[in-house]
Chain A
């Protein structure tokens, strides 16, 4: 699931700068310890998640590209909510995150709730 991280957190220059708090989250049902105080995208990049989603068209792997909410390459499912921009969401302890595989799944008819995605297919 995880690979060698593409990014690392700079170690504090002195004892006065605090180390980031470590949070426990799940990514694709695997427990992960990630640094807190940052976006979900930044947290995942720092622990070796390289593939955030697969495209709906060809299934090609994608990962964050712009980190500022413009490119939508970092879309993941967070706590059951699909198509979240992981660069705009602050990581929280206990989050359950899934990579977004292709077009997001439609909810089963039994628990159909109004979470349609304006751009989903």
Chain B
């Protein structure tokens, strides 16, 4: 593939990337789809092509819907590079990637970044202990490996993915120790303001209500409006420290529930590593509490020829992502002259209407499942940067010494300088510093992200 020029490079094989690649290839463009995983689907449709009947039954119809997308992509004529870690996209649209220990690069006339979402950091005491994982991680174990907690797990936090995982465990006959919900009662009231708009996305809303009903009918112990979360550690048979219990309060009453698997979730946020590394403009989204790249209605950044589709441009979910992928491909087909503007507009109109429809649920979800301040801006003793073990208290002491933002926090104490490159602490660092300095997160900004986006050995780099 080296030294090639392709019409369109798509990065990420989730719903947005699959839809964009399929639509662009059907329009007659040469397309390469690169993805870090060994098979298409992204995280939402992970392992969709090889999941058996049992797994599909457990995971439900919304998951199985991904199979059609995968088979349309397979027939589209687009080239597919699995196990390919893209580590740099330049503003001139050179795509650098690592595959099978070798680095290669090629030029693309247009680039679609479809790198989706990451789970929002959930910094609470004990969140670094073995046995504490994200709900998304547990769902990936179910989708890709048919694995479930060996003993009943605790599901903690808020947001659709947490309840969906619970529903899937119930369908798999896997007992759940407890669902500890952090949604505040005042947020339930606040969310009602958006109910009218949410009702227009009724299929989604009704699915959510069914999930909750299934969990209640299955007798999953539910604790609502939980705060003061703390994972307690224990010592393993082999002498190693691990999670042993979750401590929390409900209206001032303390609770302690034992479990060796504790699954955290408080929503997902755009994965902005590429868009930040491209120095594209980003805006702080006060409803979704995250940074999102600024794009036009076709998904194009203020870096010409580079587009974002799917959750990477703001959280909308799988259906929105698929629709955005198609819209982006139409815009690219028009820019590259394989369709005219009138044809683009004609094909895009129903897609843009559909996008507006599926996004109607978002204001309701964003306000209902707004993660609590204390779970985003944690107490002093809580580790914020997992890689370099920097606590919120240390971060606040950097601010007292004159640290103004995330980039300076690196030189004050290596915060954000470990292998995850800030993926697991970036938003927390922004919000902790914003809180300590009493200025808005928008003013504080985010880490400056530089390539390589994925760690690369010098040996691999020298091989290009």
Contact = CB atoms under 8 A, between A and B. Distances in A.
Contacts of A21: none
B362 to A, nearest CB: 23
Contact of A46 (B145, B238, B260, B452): B145
A57 B236 contact: no
Nearest to B43: A68
Is chain B's interface secondary structure helix, strand, loop, or mixed overall? loop
A26 interface: no
A43 B141 CA distance: 10
A4 B234 CA distance: 14
A52 B129 CA distance: 11
Contact of B149 (A7, A51, A68): A7
Contact of B420 (A71, A114, A115): A71
Contacts of A35: 145
Contacts of A3: 236-238, 240
B150 A4 contact: yes
A109 interface: no
Interface stretch (B19-27, B275-283, B311-319, B382-390): B382-390
Given A13-B54, A88-B37, A116-B458, A57 B389 contact: yes
Interface residues of A, number: 57
Interface in B128-166: 128-134, 136-138, 140-141, 144-151
A1 to B, nearest CB: 6
Contacts of B131: 6, 50, 63
B240 A51 contact: yes
A72 B420 contact: yes
B25 to A, nearest CB: 26
Contacts of B55: 10
A27 to B, nearest CB: 12
B263 to A, nearest CB: 11
Interface string B151-194: 10000000000000000000010000000000000000000000
B39 to A, nearest CB: 10
Contacts of B458: 114, 116, 118
Interface string B251-274: 000000000110000000001000
A24 interface: no
A69 B424 CA distance: 11
Interface string B382-417: 000011110000000000000000000000000000
B438 interface: no
Interface in A30-73: 35, 37-39, 42-43, 45-46, 50-52, 55, 57-58, 60-73
A10 B37 contact: no
B253 to A, nearest CB: 29
Nearest to A73: B386
A68 B118 CA distance: 9
Contact of B54 (A12, A50, A119): A12
Contacts of A37: 145
Contact of A2 (B119, B238, B418, B455): B238
A29 interface: no
B141 A8 contact: no
Contacts of B133: 63-67
B48 to A, nearest CB: 15
Contacts of A70: 118, 271, 420, 423-424
Query: Of residues B36, B138, B419, B424, which shows the largest number of chain A Cβ atoms within 10 Å of its Cβ?
Result: B419
A7 B148 contact: yes
B38 interface: yes
A114 to B, nearest CB: 3
Given A61-B129, A66-B133, A67-B136, 8 more contacts: A3-B240, A6-B149, A7-B150, A8-B149, A50-B236, A60-B241, A65-B424, A67-B141
